[in-house]
Amino acid sequence: MTTKPHKLLFISTSVGALGTGLGGGVELSLRNIAQEMLRRGHKVQIVTPAGATWNDLPLVEIPGNLQIIAQSQERTDPIIMPENSVLANMWEYARQVQTDYDLIVNFAYDWLPFYLTPFFCCPVAHLVSMGSLSDALDKIIVQTGKNFPGTLAFHTAAQAETFPTLTQPVFYLQSGIDVSLYEFCESPKRQLAWLGRISPEKGLEDGVRVAEITGIPLKIMGKIQDASYWQNILQEYPNAPIEYLGFLSQREMQKIVRECQALLMTHRWVEAFGNVAIEALACGVPVISYRRGGPREIIQDGKTGFLVEPDSVSGLVDGVLNLSTINRDSCRRSVERDFSVTALGDRAEKWFDSILGN
């Protein structure tokens, strides 16, 4: 650890209790940064919507109604706050305890935490978890970055570029995982993997089409966030060799993924990072992804997978047919080098230290 211990209050995403999978990649980011800060001797308290399943980290569970997921709304939609909003309740809690902390870190992609920043006497840092989605949010994010320089962090430059008028400095945290939790597999079965929230912006139908065209079974894992979208895929591709395995724990998920020839990433939107990519690579599994957003800064084209023309299913199929040229060892080594929890912890600690001036 480089500095005196900090007292950190992490405020979770507002769309699901931690561990339910509704929070998507930000759950893993929050967990790994918290664990790494604790390991380095900092104090961490995590505020989450009630119903969290984690039992190995210090949690404060707050009741209330979840936010609508931002990616299901239109750019020009007004900011919506439900009655008895869990987001408002979490930030009321933060207001009450703020004098016990050196820094509050916001993980929610919502208007309120950014708007409240100047109302707090404790500094507030924001990990922006997605690319630009809403005019109202863009404005408050850019304004917060301007009024509080250095308090915004993104996962990647590709994600930050979707907010055109950002003022510097901004931090790029990328992401990181505990590589020891992912077991390397040298010789996979004849199957492909698809991981993530089952929601239109993730483009699962393209992965299903790859399975149909190549005849290689596709193992699908993740939370069904949009049930009608999932039903449409099943009706549209009744004969595709696919199997839905549910939302698995990190341990169960990597047992399946490690035995796959590749992970397909078929996202329609600018994926801020793509935690699923480093989870697969850690098992030695190459990633075949659209050249869009975060995966562009994770995958080394031709070395740890393939970066494909966005929305080109035939490009994905070509990647599958060229997998024999990828060395699965180099996939794992790329995560050990760039995306370990230690590397993430170094980036997060540097960000916190820069805000706290030490």
Residues near ligand HBI, by CB under 6 A:
13-15, 23-26, 67, 69-71, 108-110, 129-130
Q: Residue 265 is which amino acid?
A: M
Least Cβ distance, residue 86 to ligand HBI (angstroms): 11
Residue 73: name the closest of 109, 107, 113, 106 by CA: 109
Nearest distance from residue 12's CB to ligand HBI, in Å?
8
Least separation in angstroms between residue 25's CB and ligand HBI is 4
Comparing CB distances to ligand HBI, the nearer of 13 and 191 is: 13
Q: Please state the closest distance from residue 241 (CB atom) to ligand HBI, in A.
A: 29
Is the Cβ of residue 85 or residue 261 nearer to ligand HBI in the bound state?
A: 85
CB of 47 to ligand HBI, least distance (A): 13
Nearest to 221 by CA among 255, 196, 192: 196
Q: What is the 3-state secondary structure (H, E, C) of 86-135?
A: HHHHHHHHHHHHHHHCCEEEECCCCHHHHHHHHHCCCCEEEECCCCCCCH
What stretch of H or E contains 350? Answer: helix 341-356
The residue of the chain with the least Cβ separation from ligand HBI equals 24
Phi, psi of 208 (to 5 degrees): -65, -40
**By C-beta, is 17 or 108 nearer to ligand HBI?**
108
Contact between 303 and 332 under an 8 Å Cβ cutoff? The reply is no
Nearer to ligand HBI, 136 or 317 (CB): 136
**Nearest 10 degrees: CA dihedral of 313, 318, 321, 327?**
-110
Q: Smallest gap, in angstroms, from Cβ of residue 108 to ligand HBI? A: 4
Cβ distance to ligand HBI smaller for residue 71 or 334: 71
**Cβ distance to ligand HBI smaller for residue 30 or 262:** 30
CA–CA separation, 106 and 171 (whole Å)? 14
Task: Find out whether 195 and 263 touch, Cβ atoms under 8 Å.
Answer: yes
